[in-house]
Amino acid sequence: MNSIEIKKTLMEKGEICDPCLGRQITLRHQGISNGLIGAALRKAETEPEIDKIIEEQPEPEIKSDCYLCEGLLTELPEMHSKLMEETEKWEFSNFLVGTKVPGGIAENEEKIWTEITPEDAETIKRQINRETGKKLEEKTGTEAEFEDPDITFILNFKENKIETQIKSIYIYGRYKKLERGIPQTKWPCTHCEGSGCEECDNTGQQFPYTVQGIMEKPLLEMTKAEESKFHGQGREDRDALMLGNGRPFVLEAVNPVKRRIDLDKFHQKIKENSEGKIEVSELEYSDKDKVVELKSKRSDKTYEVWVKAKQEVSKDDLNKIQEEFEDREIEQRTPTRVNHRRADKTRKRNVKVIETEKVNDNEFKAKVRAEAGAYIKELVSGDYGRTRPSFAEIMKNSLETKKLNVVKVHGSDDD
Ligand SMILES: [Zn+2]
Ligand SMILES: [Zn+2]
């Protein structure tokens, strides 16, 4: 169908505005706005005339009684000024624009496409997205990004507002925990569930310090984000230290206003806020994929465990566990200390006692390498026969863990 025939078909049906007219043949005049194409098409008598009239730059007319957009395009300037206001609030280096239009308008569009050949047409949504994107690029000096934008603006014509979706910031690093009694992630207070009460000193938190909390404070200050999420590559017990090369983590800032923070400064602020409780290293910008990678990684850990025995420990006992656990698969039922919150299952894990050292008559120290997910305190005590074999079983002694440190999170099997 040629452009003049399309115009006639569309204009016979009632009032139609220039952008709605031009939009139906937009691909025949690339780089020209639909309004201008429509204004030229309205005046043209033949196909070749259209380009000539475009050069004269006729003023496009937008009608509130257009049967196609139902006057929606007259609302576009107001929507754009709302959008520009919104862009002032956020820092971003690329963006995406989306549009929501009332259902009736998409139906109008589909209906007329059964009467004209629409292969050179675009939807009203696409027109608005494209033209708005261009405007935003000019105004902000940033670029449209379709794969993974920092920020997405939705022009919602159904509710006459701008919706904004902001991509989180992800910061990778490794942490060491140098003080016992600090959980990795924030826990809401069990009395008030986070709203704040006397028990928790109105913090809403079960513990005054967490690894996440220590890093979160400077993160929220610097990014003006709403909240943080902490993704660790596994976690150690609250009362275990995390030493050696530290544990990999990704710290996520949700709905950040500022995206480009100085990581050296952030590092410095964590240091000040932690008062020696934790140390972080290797901070760098990362992404969501890294979180998935961390969560799927099953890395070995090496531990140092200090064990207290009921009866005296002999050198022979220590040799025995070193032999017995040279490279041994153990079976562990979910420990009694956690089975109120985890399903009772049996897991198999490989463990290896690397070295042992007698501390005094009733105490010894062991260095143990274990697969991800092994329960070390239960490897020591046997947990009433729920972990087999255990140090206690092999030594025929009653044992408990006095102190536990993670000294290495291994990267791969051979490291
Ligand atoms: Zn229209
Ligand atoms: Zn509370």
pLDDT for 142-187, tens place per residue? 999 999 999 999 999 999 999 999 999 999 999 999 999 999 999 9
CA of 155 to the centre of ligand 1 (A): 17
412 pLDDT tier (thresholds 50, 70, 90): low
Cα 202 from Cα 205, distance rounded (Å): 8
Class of the CATH domain delimited by 301-409: alpha beta
pLDDT score of 343? 86
Cα 360 from Cα 196, distance rounded (Å): 46
User: Cβ distance 370 to 379 under 8 Å?
Assistant: yes
User: Cβ distance 258 to 224 under 8 Å?
Assistant: yes
Choose, from 18, 148, 201, 237, the residue flagged as catalytic.
237
Structure tokens at 141: 């000096």
CA of 199 to the centre of ligand 2 (A): 5
Residue 329 has pLDDT above 60, yes or no: yes
Please write the tens of the pLDDT for every residue from 351-395: 999 999 999 999 999 999 999 999 999 999 999 999 999 999 999
Distances (CA, A) of 158 to 14, 73, 79, 102: 24, 13, 12, 5
Cα 321 from Cα 101, distance rounded (Å): 71
Distances (CA, A) of 89 to 84, 216, 243, 255, 256: 9, 22, 41, 12, 10
User: Cβ distance 212 to 188 under 8 Å?
Assistant: no
Please write the tens of the pLDDT for every residue from 250-293: 999 999 999 999 999 999 999 999 999 999 999 999 999 999 99
pLDDT score of 340? 82
Structure tokens at 244: 């050696």
Cα 206 from Cα 200, distance rounded (Å): 6
Mean pLDDT of 19-38: 95
Residues of the chain with CATH 3.30.70.3190: 301-409
CA of 208 to the centre of ligand 2 (A): 11
Residue 414 has pLDDT above 70, yes or no: no
CA of 151 to the centre of ligand 2 (A): 35
Cβ-based burial of 173 (10 A; exposed 0-12, middle 13-18, buried ≥19): buried
CA of 206 to the centre of ligand 2 (A): 7
Q: What is the mean pLDDT of the chain?
A: 95
Q: For residue 197, give the ligand nearest its CA.
A: 2
In 3D, which of 85, 195, 101 has the Cα closest to residue 154? Answer: 101
Residue 413 has pLDDT above 70, yes or no: no
- Rounded to 5 degrees, φ, ψ at 126 are -65, -40
Residue 3 has pLDDT above 60, yes or no: yes
Residue 195 has pLDDT above 60, yes or no: yes
Please write the tens of the pLDDT for every residue from 308-324: 999 999 999 999 999 99
pLDDT score of 257? 97
The angle, 0 to 180 degrees and rounded to 10, between the axes of the packed helices 34-43 and 47-55 is: 120
189 pLDDT tier (thresholds 50, 70, 90): very high
301 pLDDT tier (thresholds 50, 70, 90): very high
Q: For residue 66, give the ligand nearest its CA.
A: 1
pLDDT score of 150? 97
CA of 395 to the centre of ligand 2 (A): 44
Residues of the chain with CATH 3.30.70.2510: 171-296
Q: For residue 190, give the ligand nearest its CA.
A: 2
171-296 domain in CATH 3.40.50.300?
A: no
Residue 339 has pLDDT above 90, yes or no: no
User: Cβ distance 382 to 219 under 8 Å?
Assistant: no
Q: For residue 38, give the ligand nearest its CA.
A: 1
Q: Catalytic: 237?
A: yes
Structure tokens at 237: 């017990």
In 3D, which of 1, 43, 46 has the Cα closest to residue 25? Answer: 1
- Rounded to 5 degrees, φ, ψ at 149 are -70, 150
Backbone conformation region of residue 263, classed left if phi is above 0, alpha if psi is from -120 to 50, else beta: alpha
334 pLDDT tier (thresholds 50, 70, 90): very high
Give the H/E segment covering residue 35.
helix 34-43
Structure tokens at 268: 């410095």
Residue 56 has pLDDT above 60, yes or no: yes
Bridge partners of residue 228, in order along the sequence:
253
Distances (CA, A) of 229 to 29, 272, 327, 403: 48, 21, 37, 29
Q: Which residue has the higher pLDDT, 240 or 339?
A: 240
In 3D, which of 351, 303, 300, 353 has the Cα closest to residue 330? Answer: 351
Structure tokens at 29: 């005049």
Angle at 108 between CA 97 and CA 113, to 5 degrees: 95
* CB under 5 Å of ion ligand 1: residues: 17, 20, 66, 68-69
